[in-house]
Amino acid sequence: MSEQVAFQHIEKKSLIGTRIKKPDAPAKAIGKTRYINDMVLPQMLYAKILHAGRPHAEIVSIDTSEAEKLAGVYAVITAKDVPDLKLGFVKDNAPLKGKVRCERDEVAAVAAESEAIAAAALKLIKVVYKDLPGVFSPEDGLKEGAPIIQERFPDNKSLRFEFKHGDLEQAEKDSDIILDDEFNVHYVTHCCMGTSCAIADFDHNGKLTIYSQTQYPYNYKMDLAPALGIDPGDIRVIQPPTGGSFGAKLDVYPFEPVAAILAQKTGRPVKILFDREEEFINSPTRQPAKMHVRTGCTKDGVLTFRSADVLMDNGAYTSWGPTVPVIMMRTVSGHYRVPVVDFKGQAVYTNNAYAGSFRGYGNVQMTYATAQHMDMLAEKLYDDYGLDPIAFRLKNAQESGEVTPQKSFLRECAFAECITTAADASDYVNKLKKYTAERATDDRYKRGIGLASSIHNAGGAKIHKSDGCGTMLKVDDYARVTVITGASEIGQGIDAVIAQIVSEELGVPVEHVTLVNNDSDLGPWDVGVHASRTTFIAGNGARRAAIKAKKQILAAAAKQANVTADELDLRGGYVVQDKDGAVVIKLDRMLRQMHFQPVPDVVMVSDYYEPNSEPEGKDHISDHSAAYSHAVHIAEVIVDTYTGEVKVEKVTMAQDVGRVINRMGLEAQMEGGLAFGLGFALSEEMLFEKGHLKNPSFRDYKVPTAPDMPELDIHFIESDCAEGPYGAKGIAELPTIVIAPAIANAVYNATGIRFFNPPMTPEKVAHAIWDKKRTAS
Amino acid sequence: MSDIKHYIAPTTLEQALETLALGRVTILSGGTDLTPQVSVGRRHFEDTLMNIRRIEGLSQISMQGDEIRIGGSATVSDIRYHDLIMKYAPLLCETASHFASEQIRNAASIGGNICNASPAGDMIIPLLVLGASVELASWTKGVVQTRRIPLDEFFTGPGKTLRNSNELLAAVIFKKPSADFVGFFRKSGPRPALEISTVSLGIGGEMKEGKFQHVRVAMGAVGPTPLRGRQTEAALEGQKLTRTIIDHAVLAAQQDASPIDDIRATKWYRNHLVAVFTEELLYNVCQN
């Protein structure tokens, strides 16, 4: 075989933009993957947590004696066992609570031989509560004399964000049209298929190994340590395959230290695994927000200002949820050129559930408002001044080289191309006019079309001191490559992307690249999977490491072949002549020759890639991402005006992806991201009554099912980002961000009714139509 | 912790009924309602869990004289694709195709759907429209005894029926509909699959010489049990389906329905849907 090939010439062939299969897909499809949920360690105990099940109360007494006596119970713990341990963004949370501040509050925990015994033991714990009056809305939390949720915050005020740019008063005077509306974005949750799970195991030196679903293994240690009273250096994080994260695993939540405390106490590995109802009640939510948004515009269709006053229900504790204004502030002033901006965001403690990070991170909420305001302005400008709705958008669309009021530098901006591509592909303007005209007919089924767009960070977001990622790469004697990366795989597909990039650089088959990225003792640092950053950051890191390895190999080969290194290349598992692809030597043979010599030359390289972005900074005025990207969605809907059912028939998506890397993974991210936004727009809602979740099941919390998915017409716009790997930008959040307001705009086009409070459930839509008819007659 | 002490899977009806007669038995007939109800604590397992799926003949669908008989453990999928049902009662196939999801249809049984007695039980609605009865079997004095109860008398409240604990739903039986029979089913919910009905409605009758006769109307999720819309039936019986008659029927349907507010819908929306569906189904009848 090798003799035959020796006379061959190997052409240069790029993998970038092709379809690469996700390496773990077959095992997942046939149910062979061993998720963390399936794991059993020798001598492992099972833990269950007693949740308060009431929103606000003093704990008068806890009697655990009966539970402790139950055969098979190894440990029962309460807040008394862990008095000084804190967790959370402002350290206002604890593994176990001495006071109840929300329904999910962890009051006690049991470790036992089986889950059934642990559950039985929970029933034997006697807790006497003294219920306290509760706060169930941010408005009530701000009232004089409102019950205090967190003693450290007696006015119930949690995080606050402000950003001002330009002269608002003057901008208002310069405006011919001013829109003023309140948008109220509801509670939804991630619904990961794999419910929350942790397995904690201490060794005899006091080192904790925690098997975790975390998305940020390195900073996770820093956050988990104070919740355990140990040094972060004494924590090893192992990440077995996880059934989804989407932001839900971007913080430490109480069940994780609880598992570790029980492991410490019993000297055994301890596993906590939520059932679905526990998952609904005890997981973070998306941050709900009441957004008072005002937008000004001249009669020529030039935007003059935007102000946003955002009130957020913090819930009882502070996780990542109330930090979403960090992104809201940027998107409120980005993507369409807004010269004057006034943003205020205030989070208020209540006795409700608390929010975490969630795909779209503040931008799902803000874009729901801004994209509807743009649509409302477009309609008014067309009706009153004859301005074409696409021309209006293009007039205000940001372009390459612009800097936003917050100093986001749009180096490569393809927003205008996204708008025109999607509008042309869907015949937007003609349909918009046609459906507007048809609105007045008596037809039961009304069609509508709606356009929405947004901007999002697409090259990480430097909210930590570093937004970097480490990579170590070795090429062994058989030309097999192992990449140890800091980047986590949570289902998003970095495994395929890194294999593809390394394969591209080293000319080895994709299947010959092995990724190691599930053990914090092995992997170099990475900030975590979030902010649409992993392909951009870890992809750059992997590429840089692979290029180093390539240089080392080619240098050795050049010396041997008596040529210069730049005359050689790596292709198809061979060292070849760059100019004509003539085979010089088989790569594995070359590597063995490098290795087995008096001074061994072994290929083991490393890299730490730090993007060229600026730290977020406390004023939030910085170029915090290495790239920004835009997307446009055009949704086409049919509304049954009798039942209120909204069927999304088709969505045309145009997104600036910089450059397509793995086409298959990219398409999957578009589809999956859209499904998230679809549920948020139409059916998903956590229903709370005085802090109590009334629908903790998939029967009553309605995620979209396969038949709900619309036809998708996806257009990738390639703006060729100078800093991104091969020109790529981060892509994962925009599909979730843009779809909901596109649907809302389409429903408006069909019915003439604006929905400022998602989800647009059949009942809500039917009632609004009925109400409109009744008022008209 | 499981309270199940014995698990049995009898192969004959006699064995099953004898076991049932001993008491403290939970019947497993698909388990798609039972399992989630147990896990949330709404029901608990008795000492004996009896799987009735292996009872010979209990899932059979057959014509006996002028009656169609569906065995109690026939699955929703069995019904959906059965030649006899497709030929004589396509309304049932239509309803079955809207029932939950493929996996649940393959497991859920007709007997289970009926005995679970949910006000929103989908298969019950077309069976009420078809005028079905249930056949209950028990082991009494050493022999199998059966009794028949019309389905519209069977339900006594949410989750409650006239079935005694020693009785098994052996079959659901209805008279073969005449060639003039037309029937339609409609359910609603925010998504097209895996949906518990917000409101379900069935209308059926014989269309003879332009007049709608032997009309039966059934409604789900608008009262404590699935119910017959008697006032709607009266408004339609023997009538030509004119605009005025349909309007009367819509008003009557809203009288028949007595919905409540719950987390799935408000009373207003359920009443609204009853009106929309009544009109829609009567329109379908006219088109047929």
CATH code at A496?
3.30.365.10
Q: Structural domain of residue A530, as residue ranges?
A: 2-33+468-609
**Which two three-digit tokens encode residue A309?**
């006053």
CA distances from A657 to A544, A726, A729, B276 (A): 21, 11, 5, 45
Within this chain, do residues A633 and A772 fall inside the same structural domain, yes or no? yes
Say if the Cβ atoms of A770 and B265 lie within 8 Å. Answer: no
Residue A26 inside a domain? The answer is yes
Within this chain, do residues A666 and A739 fall inside the same structural domain, yes or no? yes
Residue A641 inside a domain? The answer is yes
Residue A400 inside a domain? The answer is no
The residue of chain B with its CA nearest to that of A763 is: B269
CA distances from A377 to A178, A300, A440 (A): 9, 11, 21
Domain final residue, candidates A556, A577, A609: A609
Say if the Cβ atoms of B192 and A707 lie within 8 Å. Answer: yes
B191 contacts on A by Cβ (under 8 Å): 683, 702, 704-705, 707-708
Best of B3, B97, B276 to substitute, by most chain A Cβ atoms within 10 angstroms, is: B276
Best of B268, B272, B283, B284 to substitute, by most chain A Cβ atoms within 10 angstroms, is: B272
Res. B1: pLDDT tops 60: no
pLDDT digits (tens, 9 = 90+) for A6-38: 568 999 999 999 999 999 999 999 999 999 999
Contact B287, B184 (CB under 8 A): no
B276 contacts on A by Cβ (under 8 Å): 642-643
Q: According to the model, what pLDDT value does residue B196 have?
A: 84
A704 contacts on B by Cβ (under 8 Å): 191
A130, A279, A521, A523 alpha-carbon torsion, rounded to 10°: -130
Give the A:B interface size as CB pairs under 8 Å: 59
Residues linked to residue A126 through DSSP beta bridges, in sequence order: A63
Say if the Cβ atoms of A763 and B191 lie within 8 Å. Answer: no
pLDDT digits (tens, 9 = 90+) for B113-146: 999 999 999 999 999 999 999 999 999 999 999 9
Nearest to A763 among B40, B196, B269 (CB): B269
Hey, what CATH topology would domain B61-175 get? Answer: 3.30.465
Q: Spell A346-372 as b/e; 16+ CB within 10 A means b.
A: bbbbbbbbbbbbbbbbbbbbbbbbbbb
Q: B227 vs chain A: nearest CA distance in angstroms?
A: 22
Cα Rg of chain A (Å, integer)? 28
Within this chain, do residues A668 and A763 fall inside the same structural domain, yes or no? yes
Residue A462 inside a domain? The answer is no
The residue of chain B with its CA nearest to that of A275 is: B39
Q: According to the model, what pLDDT value does residue A4 have?
A: 52
Nearest to B188 among A643, A706, A707 (CB): A643
Give CATH for domain B181-287: 3.30.390.50
Say if the Cβ atoms of A702 and B266 lie within 8 Å. Answer: no
Q: According to the model, what pLDDT value does residue A7 have?
A: 65
Q: B27 vs chain A: nearest CA distance in angstroms?
A: 23
Termini Cα distance of chain A: 84
Domain final residue, candidates A554, A575, A609: A609
CA–CA separation, B54 vs A494, rounded Å? 48
CA–CA separation, A405 vs A428, rounded Å? 31
Q: According to the model, what pLDDT value does residue A777 have?
A: 81
Name every residue in A having a CB less than 8 A away from some CB of B. 116-117, 119-120, 275, 277, 642-643, 645, 682-683, 687, 694-695, 697-700, 702, 704-708, 761-763, 766-767, 770
CA–CA separation, A86 vs A96, rounded Å? 9
Residue at token pair 């929309």: B276
Within this chain, do residues A641 and A600 fall inside the same structural domain, yes or no? no
The residue of chain A with its CA nearest to that of B187 is: A643
Q: Residue B278 half-sphere exposure, CB side, CA atoms within 13 Å?
A: 33
A697 contacts on B by Cβ (under 8 Å): 36, 40
B122 contacts on A by Cβ (under 8 Å): none
Within this chain, do residues A666 and A734 fall inside the same structural domain, yes or no? yes
User: In 3D, which of A726, A557, A544 has the Cα closest to residue A627?
Assistant: A726
Q: According to the model, what pLDDT value does residue B41 have?
A: 87
The residue of chain A with its CA nearest to that of B195 is: A699
Within this chain, do residues A571 and A640 fall inside the same structural domain, yes or no? no
Within this chain, do residues A643 and A547 fall inside the same structural domain, yes or no? no
B39 contacts on A by Cβ (under 8 Å): 275
Best of B188, B199, B267, B283 to substitute, by most chain A Cβ atoms within 10 angstroms, is: B188
ipTM above 0.85 for this complex: yes
Within this chain, do residues A599 and A633 fall inside the same structural domain, yes or no? no
The residue of chain A with its CA nearest to that of B3 is: A116
B266 contacts on A by Cβ (under 8 Å): 763
Nearest to B196 among A699, A704, A706 (CB): A699
Residue A694 inside a domain? The answer is yes
Residue A688 inside a domain? The answer is yes
Q: According to the model, what pLDDT value does residue A387 have?
A: 98
A120 contacts on B by Cβ (under 8 Å): 1
Residue A231 inside a domain? The answer is no
Output phi, psi for A323, to 5 deg: -90, 0
Total domains in the fold of chain A: 2
Res. B163: pLDDT tops 80: yes
Say if the Cβ atoms of B263 and A706 lie within 8 Å. Answer: no
Say if the Cβ atoms of B193 and A705 lie within 8 Å. Answer: yes
Q: According to the model, what pLDDT value does residue B192 have?
A: 72
Say if the Cβ atoms of A277 and B196 lie within 8 Å. Answer: no
Helix axes A663-682, A494-506, angle to 10 degrees: 160
Name every residue in B having a CB less than 8 A away from some CB of A. 1-2, 36, 39-40, 101, 188-196, 198, 263-266, 268-269, 272-273, 276, 280
Q: Strand A197-202 vs strand A270-273: parallel, antiparallel, or unpaired?
A: antiparallel
Within this chain, do residues A490 and A550 fall inside the same structural domain, yes or no? yes
CA–CA separation, A744 vs A692, rounded Å? 29
Extract the residue ranges of chain A whose pLDDT is less than 50: 1-3
Q: According to the model, what pLDDT value does residue B3 have?
A: 79
Domain final residue, candidates A609, A641, A673: A609
Q: Which amino acid is at A763?
A: E
Q: B260 vs chain A: nearest CA distance in angstroms?
A: 14
Residues linked to residue A201 through DSSP beta bridges, in sequence order: A209
Q: According to the model, what pLDDT value does residue A355 have?
A: 98
Nearest to A682 among B2, B190, B264 (CB): B190
Angle value at C-alpha A143, between A137 and A144, nearest 5 degrees:
155
**Which two three-digit tokens encode residue A578?**
């760059």
The residue of chain B with its CA nearest to that of A688 is: B263
Best of A698, A763, A765 to substitute, by most chain B Cβ atoms within 10 angstroms, is: A763
B273 contacts on A by Cβ (under 8 Å): 643
A122 contacts on B by Cβ (under 8 Å): none
Say if the Cβ atoms of B191 and A707 lie within 8 Å. Answer: yes
**Which two three-digit tokens encode residue A445?**
């089924």
Contact A571, A507 (CB under 8 A): yes
